[in-house]
Structures are given as structure tokens and as C-alpha cells.
Amino acid sequence: MYELIQRQIGADYFQQKFSNDGQRFVAWYLRNILFRDMNETRDDITDGADDKQIDAMVIDDDASLVRIVQGKFIQAGSVDAEPLREVLSAWMQIKDLARLQNVANAKLQRKLAELRRHSRTTTKYPLSLSQRAI
């Protein structure tokens, strides 16, 4: 599976639109697992400096669901507990949207503002935290 994903993220779309293999892997996951189109995928990616352990945020209006993705494109043979700590950190930070809005990067701030708008129109917006490593 690793070789397949590596081959696919080598395609022009991933190489031209995303700056590193970590972002390319998250984009691959959004496109191939969550079935996001190219524009949605670009919009969902929040990875970068001050992403606060949130590499992507998918707001699904139809399902009234928010998916927060933390991805790791790990090329070594073993995975330690750091990815789990990052997911737990994202979970803790998302509980205080106002604070997170103030310390996040611009891409994440935009997605958080979108989340706030949507959360005003519905009483229930469960979160789905996903940590993906390959």
C-alpha cells in the first residue's frame, strides 16, 4: 500500500499543489478515502506552521459532521506514540474554538470560522478525529 500511495502522490496534481509528502498524503487521504474533489481537498488542508496538530478539517454539512485529520507520512519501519499525542492535542484544542482561532495559522482560522458559522445553525455537530499514518 505504501508504494501505491507513494506512486499516486507523485502525480502532477499532488506535486504541484502540496509542498511536502505529509501534505500530499493528507490530500491523497481526502481524495481517495473521503472522496473530496480537488478544490475541496485544497480548501480542507490546514497543514503548516501553527496548524495546531490539525492537518485538515472537513466540514460535512449533509452529515452535520466535522472531520479533523492528522496525517503522518512515515517512511521508517516503526511508529511511536507521537501521532496519538498530536491527535489528542487537536481534540483538546478544538474544545476552545475562540482560543484556537487566535493562535492558529490563516488556513485553520478560515476553517474554524466556517465551523463556527455552521455550528450556529445546528444543535449537533459531532467531531471525528482521524489519525492516518503510512
Residues with Cβ within 8 Å of 101's Cβ and at least 6 positions away in sequence, in order, are: 109, 112, 113, 116
Assign 3-class secondary structure to 53-67. CCCEEEEECCCCEEE
- Once rounded to an integer, what is the mean pLDDT over residues 110-115? 91
Q: Which of 81, 59, 79 is nearest to 68 (CA)?
A: 59
- Looking at every residue in the chain, the average pLDDT score rounds to 84
pTM for this prediction: 0.83
Write down the pLDDT at residue 123: 46
Q: How confident is the model at residue 130 (pLDDT cuts 50, 70, 90)?
A: low
Read off the C-alpha cell for 20: 511536502
Cell 490530500, residue located: 27
Q: Is the pLDDT of residue 122 over 60?
A: no
Q: Tally the domains of the chain.
A: 1
More confident position, 68 or 125: 68
Domain range enclosing 76: 2-133
Longest dimension (CA), the chain: 45
CB count within 10 Å of CB 129 equals 16
Q: How far apart are CA 61 and CA 50, in angstroms?
A: 26
- Across residues 33-56, what is the average pLDDT? 94
Helices assigned H by DSSP within 19-121: 21-32, 38-44, 82-94, 97-103, 106-121
pLDDT of residue 64: 78
Per residue in 67-112, pLDDT tens? 888 887 776 666 677 777 887 888 888 888 889 999 999 999 999 9
Does residue 62 surpass a pLDDT of 70? yes
CB proximity list for 83: less than 8 A, separation 6 or greater? 70, 72, 131, 133
